[in-house]
Amino acid sequence: MELPNELWDIIVKQSKKSNYEFIKDMSIYELYKLEYEIKEKRKQIYDDIKSKLNKYDIIKVTHKTDKKAYDCDLLITNLNLNRDNKISVCNLNKCNEKCIFGNYKSGDLYNYQIDLDNVDIEVISTLADRKKENIKIANSLKVGDVFIYSNYTCAEWVRYRNICIDLSSFENSLCYSVVEDITPEKIIIKNKTIKRRNGEYLTILISNKEYINKNLILNKLNFEDNQKLYSIIIK
């Protein structure tokens, strides 16, 4: 059944009203009710955006008017802020070497907030996917293999980056070792090698076996990758 022409005329007329014309004859109560409905709708939109994100996801953010506003990948450090339209992030700087977050050489020591009203967000990688990738690499290792692992989880890096010495550089959080044994969830080692601030490598002997979570394993290290470092680790 079609609507009468008179009703269509009213609908079209209403749709052409400006915001001011729409509210000018409203009472205080009607304005308050409209304001409440708008606030609830905005919160629903923010909650929907956040429901697609997780803490420690890495995202690409594009500002709707300033395309150069965010020129690097961002790590989500907090989704639960006092203001519904904000999330907390820090910058990550790309490179070809893998760290606990992916191929990044450094991260900012301080967070800042992004206004969800003005941006489009694309998830580059999730914490769950990165862990799954690391576990797959760990499961491919054999006893005697040399490997690289992170001394920090994502959560530990975010928590301790302002406390420990120069965690802005992810190279400082890398450790190197040899697989002594393997369990379903851990890689067992007896010593580890780290890179000191002067660029030299230091091997630390472990009195007892150390168990490394498989989700911290970054890569296998072959002799051809770094002959000097490989020789230091296996001697």
Condensed to tens digits (0 to 9), the pLDDT of residues 174-209 reads 999 999 999 999 999 998 888 777 777 888 888 788
So what's the pLDDT on residue 179? 95
Residue extents of the structural domains in the chain: 8-50, 129-234
Please report where in the chains the tokens 């304001």 appear, as a residue: 35
Would strands 112-115 and 58-63 be described as parallel, antiparallel, or unpaired?
unpaired
What confidence tens digit (pLDDT) does each residue in 121-142 have?
A: 999 999 999 999 999 999 999 9
| Averaged pLDDT score across all residues of the chain | 86
Please report where in the chains the tokens 């989880």 appear, as a residue: 153
Contact call for residues 191 and 208 (beta carbons, < 8 A): no
| Number of alpha helices (DSSP H) and beta strands (DSSP E) in the chain | 6, 12
User: Of 216, 217, 169, which Cα lies nearest the Cα of 195?
Assistant: 169
Binned at pLDDT 50, 70 and 90, residue 1 comes out as: very low
How many CB atoms neighbour CB 66 within 10 A? 10
What type of residue sits at position 145? D
**What average pLDDT score do residues 58-72 get?**
88
Q: Could you write out the three-class secondary structure of 191-235?
A: EEEEECCCCCEEEEEEEEEEEEEHHHEEEECCCCCCHHHHHHHHC
Q: How far is CA 83 from CA 35, 114, 175, in A?
A: 17, 11, 39
Binned at pLDDT 50, 70 and 90, residue 61 comes out as: very high
So what's the pLDDT on residue 14? 55
Is the predicted pLDDT of residue 9 greater than 60, yes or no?
no
How many angstroms separate the CA atoms of 180 and 20, rounded? 73
**What average pLDDT score do residues 151-175 get?**
84
Is the predicted pLDDT of residue 91 greater than 80, yes or no?
yes
DSSP per residue over 151-169, as a string? SS-HHHHHHHTTTSTTTTB
Residues in a beta bridge with 203: 193
**What average pLDDT score do residues 35-64 get?**
92
User: pTM of the entire structure?
Assistant: 0.83
